Amino acid sequence: MDQYATMIAELLGLAQAPNLYDWLGMSGIFIFVFLTVFNFFSPNKDSDNKESLDAKAGESLEEVVKETLKEELKPEVQTEVKTEEKTEAKEKKTSWADRLLKGLSQTRTEVWGKVGSILGGGNLSDDQFEEIEEILYTADLSPAVVAELLDELKTFSKSGEKKSDEYALFIKEFLKSKMDSIQKTVNTDLYQFDKNKKELKVIMIVGVNGAGKTTTIGKLATKLKSQGAKVVVGACDTFRAAAVEQLEVWCNRAEVDIVKAKEGADPSGVAFDTVKKAVDENADYCIIDTAGRLHTASNLMDELAKTKKVMSKVLDTAPHETLLVVDAITGQNALRQAEEFNKTLDLTGLIFTKCDGSSKAGSAVGIVKQLEVPIAYIGVGESVDDIDIFDLDLYLNALLGIA
């Protein structure tokens, strides 16, 4: 042992064999050098991340990279990323939801807001239920629907104290149950152009004066064209020259073809020519505008029936859809109109317009239930984006203020 100590002493240039303190010092130096060398060759942070990436192999690459980056970002940068993501998602998802929410704001505040504040107040008296009944009538729900809803609300309120948002959900489920099965019968071809389905769809649009037929056709033609469909529009409102001009402005803007005739021409003839052009040119959609008329004017209703029949002479399945445009402002009176149009034309759907600026948007429930005809589209303004598919959940949430 002594000879090793003497060797080390010589190597280190020490005058004598190392004592205990020399050993301790040397061990310290050795440990320091070892740790430095070990740390240099050891796996670094990148490979740690690689391992965690491998572990997340089941997730999408994009998500994993995002998560990994986020973990490494400073807290303030993370907050920015989150806010940006939220804004992007909101813009994509809720632009129509926002329009609808805004459009239905009058009905929501004037009807459901008031009902909700009474219901949320706890123990309800008969007087309060009478007040609720009166408010519900202003939404133009049908009397039968109001009576049934009141009964259900009374039973629900007896089962213990509830908050107003619990009542809102209860009312939503009630209204949904009245419309859901009918809404499921909407033909989805109306919503979304499928380029693989090379089949012409002829859509006839009818309604009373000023309901919003021409504007709706303009919006729909724009929507379908932007999906890549070839659209031909027929100006069968030959009653007024201005009606053709109005439709022409929409068609030019949407860059779709229009078939028109002179003022006073037979609307059936224009309908015939339009469907023929659509067939000959392999169009995807053919939309027929008609002159507004009162449902009580039997000669004008007969004229509509004739226009409808003529289309089937060109294409025996046409028109595939006969849609009644209903102005929400009309409220319960719209039910009478809808019944008459349905009798003459066998409607396949409704388009609910002008839901903005009216507190009677609730009339949709009664009309759908009574007529057993679904709502295909809902309009909440005059601009081209103010129309979309009638989504029952979205509609009821917007109506009742459910987030």
Ligand X SMILES: Nc1nc2c(ncn2[C@@H]2O[C@H](COP(=O)(O)OP(=O)(O)OP(=O)(O)O)[C@@H](O)[C@H]2O)c(=O)[nH]1
Q: Which residues of this chain interact with ligand X, rule CB under 6 A?
A: 207, 209-215, 237, 243, 292, 353-354, 356-357, 379-382, 386
Q: Which is nearer to Mg ion, 213 or 354 (CB)?
A: 213
Q: Which is nearer to Mg ion, 213 or 260 (CB)?
A: 213
Cβ pair 215, 382 in contact under 8 A: yes
Residue 342 interacts with Mg ion (CB under 5 A): yes or no = no
Q: Which is nearer to ligand X, 157 or 307 (CB)?
A: 307
Q: How far is CA 74 from CA 67, 77, 79, 81, 194, in A?
A: 13, 5, 9, 11, 46
Segment lying near Mg ion (by CB under 5 A), choices 9-17, 83-91, 169-177, 208-216: 208-216
Q: Which is nearer to Mg ion, 236 or 376 (CB)?
A: 236
209 binds, among ligand X, Mg ion, none (CB under 5 to 8 A by kind): ligand X
Choose which of 107, 183, 214, 268 interacts with Mg ion (CB under 5 A). Answer: 214
CA–CA dist 172, 166 (Å, integer): 10
CA–CA dist 198, 188 (Å, integer): 15
Q: Give me the least distance between CB of 315 and ligand X, in Å please.
A: 25
Q: Give me the least distance between CB of 342 and Mg ion, in Å please.
A: 20
DSSP string, 143-162: HHHHHHHHHHHHHHHHTS--
CA–CA dist 235, 258 (Å, integer): 7
Q: Give me the least distance between CB of 291 and ligand X, in Å please.
A: 6
Residue 353 interacts with Mg ion (CB under 5 A): yes or no = no
Q: Which is nearer to ligand X, 200 or 304 (CB)?
A: 304
Q: Give me the least distance between CB of 243 and Mg ion, in Å please.
A: 5
Q: Which two tokens stand for residue 155?
A: 């039973």
Is the sign of the CA dihedral 183, 236, 234, 256 positive or negative? negative
Segment lying near Mg ion (by CB under 5 A), choices 23-31, 56-64, 96-104, 210-218: 210-218
Residue 216 interacts with Mg ion (CB under 5 A): yes or no = no
DSSP string, 105-134: HHHIIIIIIHHHHHHTTSS--HHHHHHHHH
Q: Give me the least distance between CB of 109 and ligand X, in Å please.
A: 17
Give the number of other CB atoms < 10 A from CB of residue 132.
21
Nearest residue to 274 (alpha-carbon basis) of 264, 287, 290, 291: 287
Nearest residue to 289 (alpha-carbon basis) of 326, 334, 248: 248
Q: Give me the least distance between CB of 203 and Mg ion, in Å please.
A: 15
Q: Which is nearer to Mg ion, 214 or 268 (CB)?
A: 214
Using CB under 5 A, list all residues that contact Mg ion: 213-214
